[in-house]
Chains A and B, each alone.
Chain A
Amino acid sequence: MSLKLFLARRRSRAIARILPSVVILSWFATSTETSIAAERGRDPWVFRMIFENRSRMLVMALRSDLWAAYNPANGSLYKVWNGGIEYHGKVYDFGQRNSKALGQVYHRCEKSSLLEATDESVIPSGWTTEGIATGAESWTLTNSNSELVTRSFDTRRYDQVMVTYRTPGGNNRLLVDVSTDNGLSWNAQTWMSIDAPAEDGHQKRLAVTAEQVKLRFRRNTTGSTATLADLVVMGDYQVWSFQKDGQMVFPKVDWRGYRLSGQTDGVTLLYDLILPDETRISVAETPEQVVGAGMTRKFEILGLPADSRVSLELDGTGYQAAHQLAGAGSLRTENDDTFLDFVTDGSSTLTTTWTP
């Protein structure tokens, strides 16, 4: 009998080489105009991915502990956080889910979702239900008359509104109806979701828009059980607005791309705001980290028509934000919302710091 040595290895696949997310920090404090970059938090440090169920996002690892994600569809800063990314997807772990942020969220665009109901142990406020049992994992529609009706939400300032939810367990067939008149009638849009594995979720684009949209969930007659969990209605909120002659409009955002300076010195996002008469206002936004939980965003606006104002809604959930502005713009607070305004072409640097 001979002794042999065998190596037990993981089956070797070309798993992507990802650099560990901790790198040595070295930078110098200097004026905000020419901040010299820290070592970035990843290579590549500016990248596109499906992130938290939104496609085409632009993510940047400004620093190993300062990450920002922009949404090119609406020219908004979607999220700022500190803990890196849990990577999922065919090019990350061969899986079917997508990536999400880790760690502490400093900023999340306040209106990035219209409705989030992820605690199934309660009935969310403003909902009406019949025959629904709460639970740790899901709401259960216990009989053929069961239904859940959400509170109403306003979709008028959103593009690409997606309804996402899960139906844990087997043999789940839910009928979903949409009302655009606050629940008086239910034939604006309807669909049926059929069985899916528990990990996988359902997603459907809302084809209708109104001030008072509600969703209703019922059992389909062929399903013998039905559950609902993690209902999130998300969309691309119109953060940019334009006012002239007392009229307010919400320009369409045309993503133009981005510029890198050096390889890691900085990044500038480029997008156009298109007014109803096809006039384009170009925006160049250069984000950069500042020490601690903070960011500068330098905006350059070009092509603003005379006697008009273009505004960016800044609010976010997460930490408390404190803004300081230098340059051509101004800050304005109105009805609990904070805006960065421009009335002329020019550049302006917004410095935001976040505290818990």
Chain B
Amino acid sequence: MRLLAIVAMVLATAHLGWSQEKAMRPGVTVWVYELGEELRELPLLVDGQTPNVSGYYPAVDFSGAWETIYNSSLEQYYLGHAWGNLIVETGGTYTFRLTSDDGAKFYIGDSAALVVDDDPAEEGGRSASLNLLPGTYPFYVDFYQNTGDARVLLEWKPPGAQDFVPIPESSLETEDGLTHVTSPGLKNYYYEEGAGGSAGGPGDGRPLIGVHPGYDLINFRPSDFHPAVGGMDFLPDGRLAICTWDNTGSVYFLDGLDGDSPATVHRFATGLGEPLGLKVIDGVVYVTQKQEVTKLLDTDGDDVADEYLSVAHGWPASFNYHEFSFNLVQKDGYLWVTTSVPLRTGNTAYLPGSEPAFPVPHGPGSLLRIDPQNRTWEIVANGLRTPNGMGVGVDGELFCSDNQGEWLPSSRLNHLVPGNYYGHREDPDVELPYTRPALWLPHGEISNSPAEPILIPSGPYAGQMLIAELTHGGINRAFLEKVKCEYQGAVFQFTQGLECGMNRLVWGPDGSLYAGGVGSGGNWNWNGTTYGLQRLKPNGRTTFEMKSVRARADGIIIEFTQPVPYSCIGSVANYSLQQYHYEPESTYGGPKYNVESLAASYADVSLDRTKVYLNIPGLKEDRVIALRLKNFVNESQVAPWATEAWYTMNQLPEDAGADFTVMDPPPESQIPVSPDVSILYEAESAENIGPVTATEHAGYTGSGYSDYGNAAGQIIRWNIVSTHAGDHQVAFRYANGGTSARPLVLSVNGSVLTTLQFSPTSGWADWVTTNVVVVNLNKGTNTIQLSSAGSTGPNVDSMSLIGPSAAPSSAVVLFDGTAASLLANWKRDQDGARPSWSVEGGALLVNTSPSPNDISTIAGYNDFTLHLEWLSPTGGVDQLGGNSGVKLRRSYEVQILNSAAGIALANDSAGAIYQLKAADLNASLGAGAWQSYDIDFTAARWSGTTKIENAKVTVRWNGVKIHDEVEIPAPTGASLAEASGLQPLLLQAHASDASGPVRFRNIWIIPKDTFSQHWQSWLESQGIAWSTGVEYQDSDHDGLPNLWEYAVDGGATANDDGVSRMPTMKLVEDDEQVYMEFEFVRRADSAAIGLRYSLQTSESLDFGSWTNHPASQIGPAVPIGDGHLERVVLKMDEPVTGLKRIFARLQAELIE
């Protein structure tokens, strides 16, 4: 047992004097999240997800599996979070001991006054001590489990005690009355350091972090005004009216919204009962309270409400806390309000019998239409659950959001039409047809508790809608279209970075979007926030992201906000697609059913490269299509703001294909391009300490330039992130209308590099760019600054940073300019030892001794896309001229040499597939320049130990294609013999007389799934564990072994969808000979996933007696249905005439 002795003084607070405190109960609250795969350490959970298990427990003392409400128990691959308060009665030294399997951490006190870290788990647990004064201390324990035994135990030794005891229930308390919100399915996670996990970066499998770049976030509320916003609207005089969902139930008017000082706040009304809707009609404030719409009148002109008049009241409701009345929308002369259903700690309250099962039926979960003239109300639609958020959206139609729970497997956006039933049952056993949502909002990925939807009136997304999001935080954007007269469409992440989970939205007179937030205890909040009020002002900047996704009969059309390079938008590999289905169930939330991966078979791009039509075989109706972009950038190398979209495909339209003019793929460029990229950083966006942003002299880029004042030491500081360590170049764009040079000191990461003379230009509107200066950057954050040396400086517009490009997000980076990446990824090929090549200035230098000193990757690869940059210096003759090479699978070399531009190339010059084929074009940038290879490689295919297909390679040299799907029949030169399986990359250390060593930088690889990995993924999706011989087992006992089910897209554990997958054989006569013909159904992408079909015969059926026979396909493959299956006929080449008895079979084989 290791003792970490941390001794600290802890002060308890004085009682704060609140007369009301949160309701508490003894014990702890535990949330458990299923992650579904092996964890290497305690992971971090992606924000905004709900747990699979939520409940109260008497102590932190857990072992074994967790029961879920989804008819399964959670035994392995999960993360748990137990939390509450520790109650300390007696002051003194407390020692805490944490024991776990597989690992856990215990935090106590705000800002983790003490952390006991038992990850990895240690025999006997770990302990630490803390001096505590009497009081209550918030704490939590995070724990994770892979497989095998599971244990978490938190013990303590109070002052004076001899032994550890489990912390008793009487010393633990947690919030009472929590709604235990849960949802099934795997949750997303990542690690604090390093790769792994199921999520990418922000906006890519994870929530966004910041504010949408097209908006400026403006804070205007006074810092001591903490509104929990239940409703918002503007008064005719421009003031903002809000109502607050808190224990005063007030209406406030805010004025002075646009000034430099915070707004003023004036209380207009108070004492309303949980007001959750507000609307200003003809200058009068109306609010929705629990079961009443109230009009507030100021009759004596003192700007305080004197009359609280009931417009409509008394619709059926019980006293259940969850029967809210939400929203207040004015449309068609009526007022519209929604209500929610009663809950008993999360589950719908049902008392089934001779009446409908709600405590008070015919009211909760409804849409009410109110006639304000006659003061009457009418229920016009029902089957809603918690419709917190309603607004007029596209086409002037009414839309509401609804929150996940029973009968609602995921939150959704509904198009409200009187007469519709939306699915939440008033009687648990009565199933009725229900109206599908316009949008499903997949739970925990984009939404947990959607709130108010609002139409976007102008700007680049005009006609779309924004939806406030309460517990997932932020605001989402929705695009809707009509297919067969019903609304469906796509939802995108839009913004985070706000101060609270958002509840209500309204557009202000200045064109800003005002957002008001709210939050409560337990899971009913975003990051513990409970109030907020901010606005987002459009700033006119275009943000690169998906603008819309539309459905076609056979695919989708994505439109982007900016043009995308053809190689990116036209590449089907950059679109990851999945479809699944939701079913309303009585459990709280529901899983995704029938999850299927989809693949685009081809892409048609529009002439302006902002739209792409993806042809997607296998699309089904009543599904959600989940789309994620990979390796996407616009023309300025900027990644999309968010990479995900979820399209609700209730129905497939009739029209197919692209609905725009399709461009021809551009011809391959024949002009070599340096691998360096240049990134522009505006001076006005940098940290300016002294210089001010000015716009007086025209010709600047961006929104201005930095103007130095009259003092030394004024600074423009750029904080930049570099993905590659080492040498970069910077140049500055400036103007100097003075008569003498104005020097600025250039510093990088705090060290002075040099003083640059900014010579006079021909005027203040004459902008020029300096020569480049070499700077050495770290991987990660860097600062580059210019500070004035004298009493003034030039006007600086921008800085250009030139250096290696960033690797795509899905790439494995093999070398990034750091020695660490060399050691982590490469070994000395000869003996597996540490490589002895050096790293200087961010470049990897070839070291030829002790020979042979090639290096190769520690990992092996099969098919891949590879990018590497190399520099071959001047000097040396022929094969000694800066010779090196990259050997794919150690067997196939692409030559590196200092071959000059413009000369004729041989099969041993730069760019050659060594001794096999010279480059088609000379794309050299010359000796001493950085050059790039982009290599798409397909490995040889093997059947057992027999090679059945050659390796193939496509190579681009400085962006120019020089080899196009060239077959490589044998190892090149003296390279290693070919073999199946994963093989490393090798960089060659070759004898050379050049003026210096060959250098490498910026090496990354994107491996493609091997056929075996694809097969394993399919097994997992069918719920079959891999074992030796699993391909021959018949898991669903339908006569088809598992590999055959895979090959024919049958269900290994479910019924096939009406198309027989059994192959049939017949004998055909042709020219007096008899031949065997097999007809069978297979996946259209069989070849692409490594499936090979052969005909075999045997005389005896004995194992080992089967022999292959050549066969030919008769006619083309005939697509079936939507095209993802095809029917094929194979005819054996040799006749079987005269044979008395023969057994024949069609074999499917997975090649390597």
Docked CA distance A95–B272 (Å): 19
CB contacts (< 8 Å) of A49 on chain B: these are: 273
Contact B176–A95 (Cβ < 8 Å): yes
Which of A26-34, A252-260, A309-317 lies at the binding interface? A252-260
Cβ 8 A contact of B352, one of A9, A187, A191: A191
Q: Which of B76-123 contact A (CB under 8 A)?
A: 85, 109-111, 113
A-side interface mostly: loop
Query: Considering only CB atoms, which chain B residue lies closest to A53 in the complex?
Result: B319
A200 touches B344 (CB 8 A): yes
Alpha-carbon gap, A254 to B355, bound state (A): 27
Contact of B528 with A by CB under 8 A: yes
The number of residue pairs between A and B whose CB atoms lie closer than 8 Å in the complex comes to: 230
A212 and B401 alpha carbons, distance in the complex (Å): 45
Across-interface contacts of B5 in A (CB, < 8 A): 1
A92-B247, A95-B23, A205-B318 known; A193+B177 contact, CB < 8 A: no
Q: For A50, what are the chain B residues with a Cβ–Cβ distance below 8 Å?
A: 273, 290, 319, 321
Cβ of A151 within 8 Å of any chain B Cβ, yes or no, is no
| Nearest CB on A from B907, distance (A) | 69
**What's the Cα separation between A90 and B247 when bound, in Å?**
9
Residue A192 at the chain B interface, CB threshold 8 Å: yes
Chain A 251-291 near chain B by CB (<8 Å), digits 1 or 0: 00011111111010000001000000000000000000000
Contact between A54 and B22 (Cβ–Cβ < 8 Å)? Answer: no
- In whole Å, how far is B297's beta carbon from the nearest beta carbon of chain A? 9
Which of A11, A92, A162, A197 meets B20, CB within 8 Å? A92
Which residues of A sit under 8 angstroms from B135, Cβ to Cβ? Answer: 8
Which chain B positions have C-beta within 8 A of A191? Answer: 351-355, 357
* A interface footprint on B576-591 (CB within 8 Å = 1, 0 otherwise): 0000000000000000
- Cα separation A195 to B353 with both chains bound (whole Å): 15
Q: How far is the CB of A179 from chain B (nearest CB, A)?
A: 13
Q: For B248, give the chain A residue with the smallest CB separation.
A: A44
Chain A residues whose C-beta falls within 8 Å of the C-beta of B17 in the assembled complex: 20
Inter-chain contact A3/B352, CB cutoff 8 Å: no
- Most B C-beta atoms less than 10 A away, residue of A54, A72, A204: A204
- B307-315, B403-411, B845-853, B1076-1084 - interface stretch: B307-315
B230 to chain A: closest residue by CB = A91
0 or 1 for each of B9-30: is its CB under 8 Å from A? (1 = yes): 1111100111111110000000
Contact assessment for A48 and B9 in the assembled complex, using a CB-CB cutoff below 8 Å: no
Contact with B520, one of A90, A197, A200 (Cβ below 8 angstroms) = A90
Known: A14-B228, A162-B318. A190 touches B354 (CB 8 A): yes
In this complex, the interface size class of chain B, counting residues with CB under 8 Å from chain A, is 35 or more
- Contact indicator A94/B319 (Cβ below 8 Å): no
Q: How far is the CA of A187 from the CA of B10 in the complex (A)?
A: 65
Query: Do A13 and B530 form a contact, CB below 8 Å, given A48-B249, A255-B313?
Result: yes
CB atoms of A194 and B350 under 8 A apart: yes
A93 interface hit (Cβ, 8 Å): yes
Rounded to whole angstroms, the CA-CA distance of A276 and B274 in the bound complex is 34
Asked if A18 contacts B247 (CB within 8 A), the reply is yes
Confirm or deny: B1038 has a beta carbon within 8 angstroms of a beta carbon on chain A: no
Knowing A8-B110, A46-B271, say if A16 contacts B247 (CB, 8 Å): yes
Whether A47 pairs with B353 at a CB distance below 8 angstroms is no
Is there an interface contact between A8 and B12, defined as CB atoms closer than 8 Å? yes
Return B817 CB to nearest CB of chain A, in Å. 38
Taking the closest CB of chain A, its distance from the CB of B15, in whole angstroms, is 10
Task: Tell which of A3, A88, A90, A162 has the most Cβ of chain B within 10 Å.
Answer: A90
Asked whether, in the complex, the Cβ of A3 is within 8 Å of the Cβ of B7, the reply is yes
Is A56's CB under 8 angstroms from B291's CB?
A: yes
* Contact call B19/A21, Cβ cutoff below 8 A: yes
Instruction: Determine whether the beta carbon of A18 is less than 8 Å from that of B351.
Output: no
Encode B269-280 as 1/0 by CB contact (under 8 A) with A.
011111000000
Cβ–Cβ contact A15 & B20, under 8 A: yes
CA distance A55 to B339 in the complex (A): 14
The complex places the Cα of A190 from the Cα of B226 at a distance, in Å, of 47
* C-alpha spacing A257/B273, complex, angstroms: 13
Q: Let me know if B353 and A189 touch, CB within 8 A.
A: yes
Contacts of A44 in B (CB 8 A): 248-250, 270-271
The digit string for B160-191, where 1 denotes a CB below 8 A from any CB of A, is: 00000000000000011100000000000000
Q: Is B138 an interface residue (CB 8 A)?
A: yes
Closest B residue to A6 by beta carbon equals B113
Write the A206-241 contact mask toward B (1 if CB under 8 angstroms, else 0).
010000000000000000000000000000000000
Q: Which residues of A contact B9 (CB under 8 A)?
A: 3-6
A323 at the interface (CB under 8 A from B): no
B320 at interface by CB-CB < 8 Å: yes
Within the complex, the shortest CB–CB distance from B387 to chain A, in Å, comes to: 17
Complex Cα–Cα for A207 and B307 (A): 35
Which residues of A lie under 8 Å from residue B737 when comparing CB positions? none
Asked if B1118 is at the interface (CB within 8 A of a chain A CB), the reply is no
Question: Given the complex of chains A and B, what is the CA–CA distance between A21 and B20 in angstroms?
Answer: 11
A17 to B20, CA, bound (A): 8
**Does B306 interact with chain A (Cβ within 8 Å)?**
yes
Report chain B residues within 8 Å CB of A270. Answer: 309
- Inter-chain contact B308/A96, CB cutoff 8 Å: no
Q: Which of A45, A94, A255 contacts B314 (CB 8 A)?
A: A255
A91 to B307, CA, bound (A): 24
CA distance A114 to B353 in the complex (A): 23
Say whether A54 contacts B319, CB under 8 Å: yes
Residues in chain A near residue B22, CB distance under 8 A: 13, 15, 93-95
The answer to whether B289 has its CB under 8 Å from any CB of chain A is yes
In angstroms, Cα B176 to Cα A95, docked, is 7
Q: Indicate if B627 sits at the interface (CB-CB under 8 A).
A: no
In the bound complex, residues from chain B placing their C-beta under 8 Å from that of A93 are 20-23, 177
Does B250 contact A10, Cβ atoms closer than 8 Å?
A: no
Q: Does B522 count as interface, using CB distance less than 8 angstroms? A: yes
Check A18/B310 contact, CB under 8 A, given A6-B11, A13-B521, A13-B530. Answer: no
Measured between alpha carbons, how far is A255 from B375 in the docked complex, in Å? 11
> Interface centre among A1, A8, A72, A96, by most B CB within 10 Å?
A8
CB–CB A10/B247 < 8 A: no
- The answer to whether A48 and B11 touch across the interface, beta carbons within 8 angstroms, is no
Q: Which B residues from 922 to 977 make CB contacts under 8 A with A?
A: none
Given contacts A189-B355, A204-B351, contact A55 B20 (CB under 8 A): no
Contact with B along A64-91 (1 / 0, CB 8 A): 0000000011000000000000011111
Residues of chain B contacted by A261 (CB below 8 angstroms): 306
Q: How far is the CA of A191 from the CA of B360 in the complex (A)?
A: 12
- A94: chain B residues at CB < 8 Å are 22-23, 175, 177, 520-522
B292 beta carbon closer than 8 Å to chain A: yes
- In the complex, which residue of chain A has the Cβ closest to the Cβ of B307? A259
Which residues in A have some Cβ–Cβ distance to B below 8 Å? Answer: 1, 3-11, 13-18, 20-21, 43-50, 53-56, 72-73, 87-98, 160, 162, 176, 187, 189-194, 196-197, 200, 202-205, 207, 254-261, 263, 270
Residues of B in contact with A (beta carbons under 8 Å apart): 5, 7-13, 16-23, 85, 109-111, 113, 132-133, 135-138, 175-177, 226, 228, 245-250, 270-274, 289-292, 294-295, 304-310, 313-314, 316-323, 344-345, 349-355, 357, 359-361, 375, 520-522, 528, 530-531
Top 8 A-B pairs, shortest CB-CB distance: A191-B353, A48-B273, A47-B271, A94-B521, A16-B247, A44-B271, A95-B177, A257-B309
- In addition to A162-B359, A255-B313, 4 A-B residue pairs with Cβ atoms within 8 Å of each other are A16-B20, A98-B321, A207-B355, A260-B306
A-B contact pairs, 30 of them (CB 8 A): A4-B9, A6-B109, A7-B110, A8-B113, A8-B133, A15-B20, A43-B270, A44-B270, A48-B271, A48-B272, A50-B321, A55-B318, A91-B247, A93-B21, A93-B22, A94-B520, A97-B23, A189-B354, A192-B352, A200-B345, A203-B360, A255-B313, A256-B310, A257-B295, A258-B308, A259-B306, A259-B308, A260-B306, A260-B308, A263-B304
